[in-house]
């Protein structure tokens, strides 16, 4: 399985919104509503931010939202805060009990 | 509360094998699944495989097929991942991560703290 395609970096100023895309194929992102997003700060384990394309786990601010269109999923972070600066990874179920991650996106809060 | 506690850092020589363990607590281990994900220095997350703790069934990424073995010890609520024929490219942090099968989950809701495996001669 090839990795899902994410932009290597995005940036935004505090209070602004940013969107991170995650492109796959009909065999993964487009074929299932099982896309999840993870936030990872340096030296830390990933943290689940969005699951099943649009759902937020308890405790995740509603500034984080997810969507999908065709073979591309997106994570939008509104009202950017300094603590949002981190790496973000998408992940999709890819059928046959397998999963695939994206290449990761570094978010910089200016 | 759910906790996944992994074994400590390892240093291995090329060609050797490494076994990393992940002890679960705070939930019924045999009802859910445990996945393994690795991250080489400065690189992306990479899915390796998983074990269904209910019955021991496993599925591995084609990237690691033949080199990775995931097992479970239900009496100890522990999952383990063994990777063989190590090369320097296997130097990475290895994570265990839970998938909640009982809710039909296809996402990793809890993660271990990570185990650094260094392969060096």
pLDDT in tens, B75-93: 999 999 999 999 999 999 9
**Residue B11: CA atoms inside 13 Å, Cβ hemisphere, count?**
2
Using a CB–CB cutoff of 8 Å, tell me whether A57 touches chain B: yes
pLDDT of residue B109: 95
pLDDT of residue B65: 85
Q: Residues B73-76: contacts with CB within 8 Å, 24+ apart?
A: B74/B29, B74/B30, B76/B23
A46: chain B residues, CB-CB within 8 Å: 37, 45, 95, 97, 108, 111
Count CB atoms within 10 A of the CB of residue B116: 15
Is residue A1 over pLDDT 80?
no
Which chain B residue has the Cα nearest residue A98?
A: B61
Please report which residue ranges of B19-115 form alpha helices under DSSP H.
none
Using a CB–CB cutoff of 8 Å, tell me whether B40 touches chain A: no
Confidence of residue B101 (pLDDT cuts 50, 70, 90): confident
B106, B110, B111, B115: which to substitute to probe chain A, counting the most A Cβ within 10 Å?
Answer: B106
Quote the CA–CA distance of B58 and B49 in Å, as a whole number: 7
Using a CB–CB cutoff of 8 Å, tell me whether B108 touches chain A: yes
Which chain A residue has the Cα nearest residue B41?
A: A43
Q: What percent of chain A has pLDDT over 90?
A: 96
Sequence-ordered list of residues with C-beta below 8 angstroms from that of A110, at least 6 positions apart, any chain? A11, A12, A13, A14
Confidence of residue B102 (pLDDT cuts 50, 70, 90): confident
Average pLDDT, chain B: 96
Confidence of residue B105 (pLDDT cuts 50, 70, 90): confident
Nearest to A101 among B46, B50, B111 (CB): B46
DSSP tag of A4: B
A86: chain B residues, CB-CB within 8 Å: none
Mean pLDDT, to the nearest integer, of A63-86? 97
The residues facing A20 across adjacent strands are A75
Quick: pLDDT tens for B27-63: 999 999 999 999 999 999 999 999 999 999 999 999 9
pLDDT of residue A52: 96
pLDDT of residue A93: 95
């Amino acid at each position: 399985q090839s990795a899902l395609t994410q932009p290597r970096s995005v940036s935004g100023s505090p209070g602004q919104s940013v969107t991170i895309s995650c492109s796959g194929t009909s065999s993964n992102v487009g074929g299932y509503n099982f896309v999840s997003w993870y936030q990872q700060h340096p030296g830390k384990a990933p943290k689940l931010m969005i699951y099943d394309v649009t759902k937020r786990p308890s405790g995740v601010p509603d500034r984080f939202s997810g969507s999908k269109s065709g073979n591309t999923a997106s994570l939008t972070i509104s009202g950017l805060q300094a603590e949002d600066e981190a790496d973000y990874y998408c992940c999709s179920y890819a059928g046959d009990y397998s999963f695939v991650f994206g290449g990761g996106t570094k978010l910089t809060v200016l | 509360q759910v906790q996944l506690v992994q074994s400590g850092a390892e240093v291995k020589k090329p060609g050797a094998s490494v076994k990393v363990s992940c002890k679960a607590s705070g939930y019924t281990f045999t009802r859910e699944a445990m996945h393994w994900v690795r991250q080489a220095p400065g690189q992306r997350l990479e899915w390796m495989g998983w074990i269904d703790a209910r019955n021991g069934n496993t599925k591995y990424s084609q990237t690691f097929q033949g080199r990775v073995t995931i097992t479970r010890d239900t009496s100890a609520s522990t999952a383990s991942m063994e990777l063989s024929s190590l090369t320097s490219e296997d130097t990475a942090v290895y994570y265990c991560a839970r998938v909640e099968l009982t809710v039909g989950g296809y996402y990793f809701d809890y993660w271990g703290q990570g185990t650094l495996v260094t392969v060096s001669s």
